[in-house]
Amino acid sequence: MAVSIEDTAPTVSGSVLSDLLTDGVLASACPSRVVLDHVTSKWGVLVLVALSERTLRWGELRRLVEGISEKMLASTLRTLEADGLVLREATPSIPPRVDYSLTPLGRELADHLLPLMGWIVRHADAMVARP
């Protein structure tokens, strides 16, 4: 017998969980899954957090997000830009200057991500140390 979240969790009208449920399950076809993939990817989160305090250039982002390859940074920035979370501003100069910043939607998301990242930082050592 399959048990859905709806069967085990209290129903609260208008809750985040109830907004996510389709026929009592967290449906695989829900558009939120695509956004979750983009936003909660390791690099997506780190890029959003890196941009949370100021506008950064490509090289600054690359140094700040240690370990990200050029290919992955380019891909992550393209995805976040397409999602409307990051603004890319190219200035015609020699050499070309490209600045990245959060859009208002990206800022709103970062305001939610930063407390989560704070929690992760506070608990990561103990959690990783567990056998």
For residue 35, pLDDT beyond 90: no
Global pTM value: 0.79
For residue 9, pLDDT beyond 50: no
1-5, 27-31, 69-73: lowest mean pLDDT where? Answer: 1-5
Where do the domains of the chain lie, and which CATH numbers do they carry?
13-129 (1.10.10.10)
70-82 helix and 42-50 helix, angle to the nearest 10 degrees: 80
Instruction: Residue 90: count other Cβ atoms within 10 Å of its Cβ.
Output: 9
Question: 99-115 in b/e burial notation, b at 16+ Cβ within 10 A?
Answer: ebebbeebeebbeebee
DSSP sequence for 42-67: HHHHHHHHHTTSS-EEHHHHHHHSTT
For residue 13, pLDDT beyond 80: no
Q: How far apart are CA 111 and CA 108, in angstroms?
A: 5
31-39 helix and 42-50 helix, angle to the nearest 10 degrees: 60
- 92 against 87, higher pLDDT: 87
